[in-house]
Structure 1
Amino acid sequence: MLFPTGVSAAPQDRRARGFAGRVLEALARQRELCNDPGPTSARVLRDLLDQARPTSFGSGHRLGSVGTLEEWKRAVPIRCYEELRPYVERQLSGEPRVLTRSAPYAFLKTSGSSGRPKYIPTTRHWRDHYRGRGLYAQWGLYAEQIGAEYLTAGNLLDLSWERTPASRNLHGFPVYSISRRPAAVGAEDWVPPWYDAPWLNGDDDEEYADSLYRKLRLLAGCDVRMIVTLNPSKIVGLAEQLALRAGELVDEVGRGTLCGAPADGMAPDPRLARSLSRRLERASGSPRLTGLWPQLSLVVCWNSASAGLYRDWLEEVTPGIRKLPFSTTGTEGIVTIPVDGHPSAGPLAPDQGIFEFVPCAEDDDGGPLAADAETLAPHEVETGRSYRLVMSQANGLYRYDVSDVYTVLGRVGGSPRLEFAGRAGFGSSFTGEKLTESQVYQAVKESYDDAWGSLPMFTCIPSWGTPPGYALAVEWRPGLGPAASEHFAAATESALQQCNPEYAEKRRSDRLRPLRVLPLAPGGFLALAEAQRRNGAAAMQIKHHWLQRDDTLLGLIDELSLLLPG
C-alpha cells in the first residue's frame, strides 16, 4: 500500500488499532444512551450548572438555588445570539468567569443572521467532555461499515476539517472556523490516526480547487475506502477536479511531483501512472471518484435539508456507493449523532447538551423565540412534526435559540430521530410568495432537458426592482445558445407557478416580474466561492444555497464577468 508523504505504515497501523477500539466503544456507549437518555440528561444538567454557577451569568440568574430542569427554565430566558453577544464580548475583553467556570482558550467564528459574525466560546471542558467524545462515537459507525482496519491515513479522506494554523486573532484569542482547527487540545480531544497526514493540513492562502486537487494527488494510488465531509458539494467538487485535472494528476504521479514541484517521499512511479491512466480513461470523462479509488465503499456527508438536494450529483460521481449522514454538527454544538444505517437522520445526542423543542408554526418567519416560550422535552416531541431547537451547551450558550428546525422521523430507543429541516423562516418573499429552496430545486429539475447533459449547478437570486423578481444563475453549456436558455427560463417559470400558487398569483398581478436566466460560464460557482473566500469568508460560511437571501451574488457575477456572451 502507498502512503502519503511522511506517513509510515507501522505507526499508522498501531495508532489505528487503538483508535478503532476507542470509536467502537464510543458507538456502543452512544447506543446505550439512546435507549435510556434520562440519567444522562440529568448528569449534563448538573455539569452545566457546575460550569455556570460560579460566574457572573450564574449570579445574575441566581443559579445557586437551581437544581431541576424546570427551575433552570424559569431562571434562564430563551435568547438568540444577539442577546447573548454582550456576555461573549465580555469574555473577549478578558473578563474571567462570565459564562463558564472553564475559561475559553479560543473562539469559533461563524456567520450571523444580522451580518455580524458570531463568536462561539470554546473551552477545554467543552472539548474534552462533549465535542471530542461525540466525534469518536460518530466514527464508530463508519468503522463498522468499512472495517476498523481501514481507519488509516491511506484508506480514507476526511474532508470534514483541516489542520490550519489560526491566522486570525481577536483580543489575544485565536479565532477560526469549526472546519479549520490548528490542533487538538489534549488526549480527550479528537485525535484520529490521520492527524499528521499531509492531506489534512490546510492553508488559508490555498485556492479551494487547488486544495482539493492536492488531496487527490496525495492519495493517488492509495486504497481509499471512505470519504467523509460536511457539505456534499465538497465531494462533487473533488470529482470535478479529478475530471478537469486527470491528465495533470497522472503526469505528476509519473514524475513524482506535487502541484508542479518535487516533494519529499514522492518518487516517480511510471507504473502507477500508467495504471491510473487506464482506469481514468475507462471512465470516459465522467468525474467518478471510483475511477481513482475502485474500492471506495462509503461516502459520509449531510444528506438532509438543502444538502439532501445534492443526492443526484452524489450518485453520479459515486455510483452505487453507500451514503451515511455526518452528525448534525454546528459551530455552537452537536445535536444528533448517527448510530445506525438511516441515510439522513440521527438520534438526538443526550450527552451533548440540554435540548428543548418549540413546535414550529406555519407562519414562522424565523424571528427570535419569546424568552418565555413553552418548550417540550425530547420525550414529548411527536413523530412527523417539526420543531425549533433551544439548546444549552457547556460552552456557555444557555437556552440558546438556534433558529434551526428539526423534523422527528421516529425514535431510537428513548431518543427522537431528528432530521435537520433547515433554518426557521428561510426562504424569499417580496410580496408574500414565500418561495423556498425545495420549490426552486424541483422546478429546475423538472424543466431542465436531459438532452442538454447532467443537471448543472444553479442558484436563484432575489433581484430588487419595480417590480422585483428572481434571477436564476446556471452554469450553462456554451453550445446550447440563447434559444435553449429562453425555453428553460419559460419552463422553470411555469413549474414555479405550479408548485407555488402564491408565486403564480403575484406573477398574474404583475407584482413580480418573470424569472430570468443568467447563463454562467462553466466553473462559475467555483469562481464565486473563491471570491467569497478572498473577501474573508471562512470555509464553513461558503455554502451553496439553491435560493439566496439577498442579491449579493449578482454583484459578484458582474465583477467577475461570469456571464456567457450573448
Structure 2
Amino acid sequence: MFSLKALLAKPFAKYIVKKAQKWIDNPIDTQKQVFEELISDAASTAFGTDHDFLSIKNHADFVKRVPIRDYEELKPYVDRMVAGESDVLWKGKPLYFAKTSGTTSGAKYIPLTKESMPTHIAAARNAILTYIHETGNADFVSGKMIFLQGSPVLEEQNGIQLGRLSGIVAHFVPQYLQKNRMPSWETNCIDDWETKVEAIVEETLPENMTVISGIPSWVQMYFERIQEKTGQNVGDVFKNFNLFIFGGVNYEPYRAKFETLIGRKVDSIELYPASEGFFAYQDKQSEKGMLLLLNSGIFYEFVVAETFFNENPIRLTLKDVEIGVNYVMIISTNAGLWAYNVGDTVMFTSTKPYRVIVSGRITHFISAFGEHVIGKEVEHSLQEAIKETDFQISEFTVAPQINPESGLPFHEWFIEFENQIEDVSQLAAKIDAALQNQNSYYFDLIKGKVLQPLKITMVAKNGFQDYMKSIGKLGGQNKLPRLSNDRKIADKIYDLNLIK
C-alpha cells in the first residue's frame, strides 16, 4: 500500500544520519565544545559560583573544583530548585522534574530544562530514523506504534510540573505520529499496571501494530496477555509487527522467550535513555553496542569501576577510554547535573565511532567475598549456559548466600523458568563454569574452596511480578536488579513464598 509518510521518512532519515556524521567524525572536539558551553552557560548559577566556574579553563581544572557526586550529595541544590529557586544548578528554572524512585531519601527529582528536554526527543526520533536509513525499511511508520510507558498525568510543585520521564515525554509526541501512537491517552493515564496492560490489549488487538516499544519485562507481560486472549503467537496476531524498540535492560536474556512469544524474529533497536539524559542508541543492526551521543549537551567522564571507591580515582575523558574496560559513567549536563554518578557501568565495544554497552550498576554487583561479579558477567554466563538447550528464562536475580545451613557460602541464582524444568543441577554447573571463565576472582574463590559452585533456586510462575508488586514497583520504568550484594531481594522472595 502506498504511504506518503513512509516515502518522506527515507530522505529525512538520510538527512539526519548525514548531520550526525559531523560530530561522529569529530568526537573529541565535539566533547570539548560541549564542556566549554556547559561551563560558560552555568558560570553565574549558584553551583557555578560555589565551584568557581569562571576560573575553569580545562578538564583538569574541573576535576579540582567539582567532585563526583551522586543524587544524595547533590540533593541540597536540587531541594532549592524544588522549592522554586532560580539559577541554582542551571540558568532559570527547570521545565520539569522527572520523579524517580529514590534510594535513602525517598523520591528523586531529576531536572529537565528547556535545553535538555529537546535532546531526549531528538535522540528517540533519530534512533528510528537511523534504522530506516540503514535498512531501507520505512513501511512501519504507516502502522500503529505502541510505547509502554508511565502515566502522562503530571503534578505541579512551585510552578514546575513533575512526573515520570516516560510520562513527560508522552507530551512531546510529534503531530505526525499522533494518529499512529497507542495506547489512547485515557489508557495511558491508568496507574495500576495490570489494569493498564489489560486495557492496552483490548485497544491494540484490532489494530495493525507495526512497532512495539518498552522495557522487555513489561512488554513480555503484554505479549503473554495477547497470547492468552487469542491463543496465537503475537506475530500471527500482528502480522506487520517487525520492529521492537527497548531500553533499560539487556535484551539477550529475553530474546529466546520473545521469539517464542512472537513466533518469528523481528528487528530490534536498543536505546539507553534515563531521566538524567538520553545517552546512546543502536545505530547498526550488525554491530554490538550503542552509539554514544556526544553532541546532546552531555559531557562524559569515565572512572575504571574497580578503582571507583578509591580515594580520588582518576577521571578519564573520552580520548583515554579503552575497549572492554568496565567504567563508571559520570555526566555533566545542560540540565545542571555536574560530575554526576548515574550509577551505571559501561564498556566500550568500539572507539571509531564510540559505542557502549551497559555492563551493570556500580551498586548492582556481588563482591561479598571479593569476587567483583558484575551484571554483564552473569547475563553472559546464563546465555552461554542455555545455548543449544530448551531452557526458557522469564526473569532472574542473583544474591550471595553468606551463611548457608551447611557447607561453604555460594551465589544463589533465583530463576523463573518459562517451561517445565525438573533438574537444574546441570544448568547450574554450566553457568558456574561460564562465570569462572569470565571472572578470575570468582574462579580463584571456587578453586580455593572459599566458595562452593552456585546454586539455582526456582521461582514460581509470575513470582518476580508478584515480588515487584509487593514493593510497589510493578510496571512503568521499574526493573528487577540482576545482582545484589546483600539478601534483601532474596529474603523477600522467601518471605512471600515465591519459591517453586
Structure 1-normalised TM-score? 0.73
For 2:376 and 2:58, locate their aligned partners in 1 and report how far apart those are by CA, in whole Å. Answer: 41
Match of 1:347 among 291, 295, 319: 291
Instruction: State the 1:22 CA deviation.
Output: 5.9
Shift of 1:88: 0.9
**Are the counterparts in 2 of residues 26 and 136 from structure 1 also a CA contact under 8 Å?**
no
CA deviations over 1:42-91 (Å, ceiling 9, x no partner): 55345423531221112222223545555545543333333222111111
Residue pair 1:20, 1:148 contacting (<8 A) in 2 also? yes
Structure 2 residue 242 is the aligned partner of structure 1 residue 297: yes
- 1:408 pairs with 345, 348, 352, which one? 348
- The equivalent of 1:56 in structure 2 is 46
Contact 2:424–2:456, Cα closer than 8 Å, also in 1 = yes
| 1:101 and 2:100 correspond | no
* Residue 164 (1) aligns with residue 130 (2): no
Does the 8 A contact of 2:359 with 2:376 survive in 1?
Answer: no
- Cα distance in 1, alignment partners of residues 282 and 448 from structure 2: 48
Residue 434 of structure 1 corresponds to which residue in structure 2?
372
* AA of the residue aligned to 1:474: I
Give the distance between the partners of 2:420 and 2:279, measured in 1 at CA. 46
1:548 maps onto 2:493 in alignment:
no
The reply to whether residue 240 of structure 1 matches residue 176 of structure 2 is: no
Match of 2:67 in 1: 77
How far the C-alpha of 1:319 sits from its partner, in A, is 5.6
Structure 1 residue 101: deviation in Å? 1.1
Shift of residue 98 of structure 1?
Answer: 0.8
Change in 2 beyond 3 A, CA 1:125/1:241 = same
Counterpart in 2 of 1:125? 115
For residues 29 and 349 of structure 1, what CA distance do their matches in structure 2 show?
Answer: 13
Query: For 1:266-415, what aligned pairs fall within 5 Å after superposition?
Result: 280=232, 288-302=233-247, 306-318=250-262, 321-358=265-302, 360=304, 363-364=306-307, 366-367=308-309, 370=312, 373-376=314-317, 378-412=318-352, 415=353
Identity of aligned residues (%): 21
- Residue 36 of structure 1 and its aligned partner are, at CA, apart by 3.0
Which SS does the other structure have where 2:115 is aligned? Answer: helix
Which residue in 2 is equivalent to 1:214? Answer: 199
Q: 1:192 to 1:559 in 2, by over 3 A?
A: farther
Secondary structure in 2 aligned to 1:180? helix
Structure 1 residue 108: deviation in Å? 1.3
Question: C-alpha displacement at 1:135, in angstroms?
Answer: 2.7
1:254 match: none
CA distance in 1, matches of 2:170, 2:384: 46
Distance 1:513 1:204 in 2: 49
Of 367, 392, 407 in structure 2, the residue corresponding to residue 454 of structure 1 is: 392
> How far apart, in 2, do the equivalents of 1:343 and 1:192 lie?
32
The offset of 1:328, in angstroms, is: 2.0
Letter in 2 for 1:539: G
Which structure has the greater CA radius of gyration? 1
Query: Would the aligned equivalents of 2:385 and 2:430 in 1 still touch at CA under 8 Å?
Result: yes
Aligned match of 2:209 = 224
- CA distance in 2 between counterparts of 1:354 and 1:439 reads 28
AA aligned to 1:550 is D
Gaps of 5+ in 1: 2-12, 248-279, 281-287
Conserved 8 A contact 2:150-2:476? no
Q: Partners in 2 of 1:40 and 1:491 — Cα distance?
A: 45
**CA displacement 1:123-163 (0-9 Å, x = unmatched):** 223213x33333332231244446445324x432233x355
Separation (CA, whole Å) in 2 of partners of 1:490 and 1:133? 46
Are 2:454 and 1:525 equivalent residues in the alignment?
no
1:500-556: per-residue Cα shift (whole Å, max 9, x none)? 665566567775577554333222222223333xx267722x213443343233344
Contact preservation (8 Å) 2:28, 2:319 = no
Unpaired stretches in structure 2, ≥5 consecutive residues? none
Name the amino acid aligned to 1:165: V
| Letter aligned with residue 219 of structure 1 | T
Q: What amino acid sits opposite 1:233 in the alignment?
A: S
Q: 2 CA distance for matches of 1:345 and 1:227? A: 21
Q: Contact (CA 8 Å) 1:430, 1:468: kept in 2 or not? A: no
8 A Cα contact 1:26 1:137, kept in partner: yes
Equivalent residue in structure 1 for 2:174, among 171, 188, 191: 191
Any idea what the Cα deviations from partners look like across 1:358-410, whole Å, max 9, x if unmatched? 3525x34x538738x3422x344344444332221100002223343332222
- Are residue 562 (structure 1) and residue 492 (structure 2) matched? no
Following superposition, the deviation at residue 105 of structure 1 comes to 3.1
Cα distance in 2, alignment partners of residues 449 and 348 from structure 1: 30
1:422 to 1:23, Cα distance in 2 relative to 1, 3 A: same
Question: What corresponds to 1:273 in structure 2?
Answer: none
- Give the distance between the partners of 1:448 and 1:142, measured in 2 at CA: 30
Query: Using a 3 Å threshold, how does the CA distance of structure 1 residues 509 and 111 change in structure 2: closer, same or farther?
Result: farther
RMSD: 4.0
Question: Secondary structure of 2:97's match?
Answer: strand
